[in-house]
Structure 1
Amino acid sequence: MDDLLVGGAPQDSELVRAAHLGDAGCLGLLLARHRAGMRAVALGLLGHSQDAEDAVQEAALIALRRIGDIRDPDAVGPWLRMVVRNVCRAQLRKMSAVPMAEPAKAVAVDRSGGPPDPAEVLDRHALRDWVWSALEDLSPGLRLVTMLRYFTDVTSYEDIAALCATPVGTVRSRLNQARTKLAGALLSSADRVHDDATALSALHRRLAEETMVSAYRGELASALSDRWSPQADVIWPTGKRTGIDYLPAAFDRDVSAGVRQKLLNVVAGREVVIWEAALLNPPEDPFHCPPGVVWAHFLDRGRVSKLRLHHPRRR
């Protein structure tokens, strides 16, 4: 970004092009430059309320994920205001899904029929490290709901509440707090040197795959002893609590019944690591297990101190 500032204030189009290449400082400057216009749209639709402030924060996070989709760099101002407008309309409709702006001629259409995966978009635009550095500055409670909501398929308030063992109202409150704090942290930390979040996620994906292989070999207990605290708690979807010694036996029972787990996604922070896996039941017993399971690992000095398992609701 320093080169852009040599000749005076850079044009929006210059900032957009630099942001496409992964310059977090330029993206932060764009959001700061257009914040007043974004807020004006929110106030016009939602009035002077906390909902309007939340909409601006939500729109900033969406813009962060979708900046690489802008086809006309000179249209970033109208695009950002359209993002806010879509968020506000979603709030007015009281939709529970995360809104994804798709203004005409500004955002690439996702042909799959659903929103692009935020983690993939962030990787593609070299901004993931910036986001994760800001995310790690959140409190543990705010960090967990944000990781689930924006980086996994556990996006409904009900599923997040069940996994976090907290009321739905608390989830909503924490997400509102997280959006506000995260957007502010992103703007204030744009020029810092950030940890390599992509490498961290790759490391934990490899560890997850190794753990699964060990489990199918009947060696899960050994794998857990290498990376888990001996006093680690396991909280099952039913709410039952056990030690880690119960986990290998339970896994073996599912394997003996013909159930397999297919690892779909790994989201890794310094203190929380989330695995998402599909549960593949045998043809003769298609409802033996729910369709999927989420492993939420809580780390203490690099070792798992608690695991919470959750079966997302069937869609």
Structure 2
Amino acid sequence: MGQPNFHRDGSKPDAELVMAARGGEAPSLGLLLERYRPQLYAIALSMLGYTSDAEDAVHETFVTALTRLDGLRDPAAVGGWLHSILRNHCLMALRRRRPCAKPAETDRVFRELADEERIESRIESRDLRDWVWAALGRLPEMQRATVMLRYFGSSPSYEEIAAILGVPVGTVRSRLSNAKVRLSELLLASAGLSDRDHQKLVAERLAFYVAEFRSLYGGGRDRFLAHYADDLEIGLAGGPRRLGRHLFAEIVDEDTGDGVRAEPVRALASGNVTVLEGNFLNPPEDPFHCPPGFAFVLFHGEHQVRGMRIYNSARPARSEE
């Protein structure tokens, strides 16, 4: 199988997509966010690990971008703007994990996110409001009611919403979180109708890696490894970055020798960045050898992968026998 085009983009410039989105074209915003999703997810993985928090931070970033788009001063600088929003959400997720985070840092993040919430309450006046209302109509009714009370009413607190709906505050938070995920998914889905080239690119990359891993386990080790540069920069989560394809070869040989197979199931792609997610298939006699899943962040050069970061999901708890 030939190598896919790792640098094709062919889409409209960022600034043009931002201006179209401000004019009410939700697919343009969805297309812009899809373009940056691999980079954003890679940053979230590096900050939060391969957990649901990383995906949640990206969804939160998308919804924040939807509600703050008119505040972006330079449409051409949308990439840095999105990265900044994402990092704030990641810091908030880290704070939830570590309540003893530095006060100065968390106070700054709280101020910025509080400002985002104030802006979110004005979403109804945006050019994108028609799309937002249509998307809300596709949410389950209790999620929809919670979102409407939070962002379209008089901006009541979580406690007030809980009292109105007769549910615990935790339920309000959960519904809002799930609604943001669904809204971001609908926004990305709207982009698929206007960017067939990007959808084709993603499908090509996933098909390429599925075929490459099958080749690896079918005796094509050397062909598989040839896809990676001799001076590959490789990093494992929480460890230092090191150079050399031989390091990746050692990991591959150890896993295959132990009867472990990696099965890609999802890809995100944009420009020279691919995020590849998949499952580890452990041998029956050693079901806990590798964690259930992995995420590879791949940085492509002209002909080979020049850098990769490897993140593994948490291992499931073993039941005591």
TM (normalized to structure 1)?
0.49
TM (normalized to structure 2)?
0.48
Which fold has the larger relative contact order, with Cα–Cα distance below 8 Å and residues 6 or more apart in sequence? 2
